[in-house]
Structure 1
Amino acid sequence: MANGSRQAAWEFFGTELRRHREESGFTQVELGARVFVSGGYIGQFEQAIRKPQLDVARRIDETLRTDGIFERMWRKLIKEQTYTEYFSHAAELERLATEIYEYAPAVVPGLMQTREYARAMFLAGNPLATDEYIEELIKGRLDRTRILKDATRPVYWVVVHETVLRAPVGGPAVMARQLDHIAALMRQRTVLLQMLPFSAGAHPAMGKMMWLMEFEDAPPTVYTEGMLSGSLLDEPALVKRIRASYDHIRAAALSPEASLPLIESAAEDYRRCASSS
């Protein structure tokens, strides 16, 4: 669902909420008190400024006696919105790409994450989220990895900073299995991966994730991501500069042949740590 149609769908949710609320004789404040949010929040739901959590949608149904209509709308909208709005377009383009070049400065790239690693990452970013919400996020993440299993999978070339190996996301056992998975992808020649060691020092894109996608019949696009934000860039001169930065990083990184033993050694270290704890 495109961003415009998704927003229109949330506006429909808000319109229906207002209609049912008024027919039931509730003010925004009165309905908010019944579903444990403020009246201002109800107003923001009705204006499609904010999106309610699933438990709030359920309580609205109970209070307005709407036979689950708001829960069903919520589930439909969330199902259609597998990814955050700032990433959704990039995810669509990812499926069309013939070549993907990525630099990962801090965490394992999403296309290579295991379920356990993804869960640890999502819990870190959403410490108060429900299990149901976390599972939705994990499902979206793992669905993306299917493109690496397709016969027509894109060329996938990744440079991963050594920080990724040393940050024990999820604990030693989770990291050991995650690094084993990456090593398997490398041995299967599904991914071409280079490690950028600490000894490489400063580099052009230090600390900045970059993701360059090439297409058969369209110009290349770059996706960059920050804290709760992302940008798609397709201006030719800018894409050219970013591609040059990626090439500099790739030149400074270890070869795939030298990177694989480093990953396997780190996995074994984590395994020993997990068994001794």
Structure 2
Amino acid sequence: MPGPKPLDPSSSPRALLGAELRHRREQAGLTQDELGLRLFVSGSFIGQLEAGTRRMVPEYARLTDDILGTDGFFLRNCKAATKSKYPDHFAEAAEAEAIAQTIKEYAPLLIPGLLQTEAYARAVFRAYQPTAMEETIDELVAARLDRARLLAHPTTPLLWAVLDEAVLRRKVGGAGVMAEALGHIAALMRRHRVIAQVLPFEAGAHAALHGALKLMTFSDAPPLAYVDGLGTGRLLDDPATLARHELTYDLLLASALSPEASLALIESAAEAYVHDL
């Protein structure tokens, strides 16, 4: 079985902490499970910290320094690793997304952030914050578009999205914005850069009526799931919970239209918005 992938400590503060944590843990003769037991977390969580897919917070940094005898190193350095341009409830998920190998997402109401156009993202953020200064909205939009640059790579990550039909029908920003936004998704599908399937209204009740879901896998760390609500979000790594969410996603795929039929519906909806201008 191959060993852990070497980390480049210079690539980010989190990579530095991850590389140092792995080094200090192994130096102390502890497995990931053994260190996790002392920190009251799972061994897989320790693996995610070492791989840089999870961020170290002061609570864990303080305990880690005590357990490994690192003289405050992790507590001193974790602040730099937790700085983010994303909202607190989403920051860790966005950072994990940036190094994911696969991303599978169910979107019940809005086009997923990685697939949004600038105009669509601006309309969404303005709806969230109707009285915000334009500079604030500009910063939020820029951060979202920066996330979407992941798709500039020709193959990685693999993005597979299930879009509820409501995503196509909700006129976010007006007909012109919707025509452009759906056309953008269709273009990515036609270039074989993303897989997208539409969950039609006629499917009725389905396995994800509770809300949005994102599943991520990594080359050198355990998988993660992200679930969110109004101003809240949770990153999950419990194997049983992940298995349940994987089943949920599989059930969604079973109820969704095929990629070919989904592309036809997305392009038809985009054309209808063009005629609505």
Give the TM-score of the pair, scaled to structure 1.
0.70
Say whether 1:216 aligns with 2:216: no
Correspondences of 1:19-30 after superposition (within 5 Å) = none
Q: 2:275 aligns with which of 244, 268, 272?
A: 272
Q: Any idea what SS the aligned residue of 1:158 has? A: strand
Match for 1:247 among 238, 250, 256? 250
Structure 2 residue identity aligned to 1:203: H
Structure index of larger Rg: 1
- The runs of at least 4 aligned residues of structure 1 exceeding 3 Å deviation read 1-5
Q: For residue 104 of structure 2, what is the aligned residue in structure 1?
A: 101
Matching residue's letter, 1:102: E
1:126 matches 2:129: yes
- Whether the 8 Å contact between 1:106 and 1:207 is mirrored in structure 2 is no
Judge conservation of contact 2:163–2:199 (CA < 8 Å) in 1: yes
How does 1:52-201 map onto structure 2 within 5 Å?
80-151=83-154, 153-201=156-204
Matched residue SS, 2:219: coil
Distance 2:93 2:232 in 1: 12
Unaligned runs of 5+ in 2: 1-12, 14-54, 59-79
Render the CA deviation track for 1:5-25: whole Å, top value 9, x for unaligned: 7xxxxxxxxxxxxxxxxxxxx
Q: Partner letter of residue 252 of structure 2?
A: I
Partner AA of 1:141 in structure 2:
R
Return the letter of the residue paired with 1:117.
Y
What is the Cα deviation at residue 258 of structure 1?
0.5
Aligned to 2:261: 258
Displacement of 1:3: 7.4
Identical aligned residues as a percent? 51
Deviation at 1:82? Answer: 1.0
TM-score by length of 2: 0.70
3-state SS of paired residue (2:153): coil
Tell me the residue number matched to 1:233: 236
User: CA deviation digits over 1:145-199, x for unaligned, max 9?
Assistant: 0111124521111100000000000000100000110100100111000000000
Cα offset for 1:81?
2.9
Partner residue, 2:33:
none
Q: SS in structure 2 opposite 1:262?
A: helix
Give unpaired runs (5+ residues) of structure 1: 6-76
Give me the whole-angstrom Cα distance separating, in 2, the residues matched to 1:221 and 1:202.
Answer: 26
Letter in 1 for 2:161: V
CA distance in 1, matches of 2:214, 2:244: 13
Which digits, 9 at most, give the CA deviation of each residue in 1:186-241, with x for residues without a partner?
00111000000000000111151000001112111000110000000100000000
The letter for the 2-side match of 1:259 is S
- Contact 1:159 / 1:194 at 8 angstroms: preserved in 2? yes
- Residue in 2 aligned with 1:48? none
Q: Number of matched residues?
A: 201
Query: In structure 1, the residue corresponding to 2:276 is in which secondary structure?
Result: helix
Matches of 1:194 and 1:270 in 2, distance apart? 20
The answer to whether the Cα contact below 8 Å between 1:183 and 1:264 also exists between their aligned partners in 2 is yes
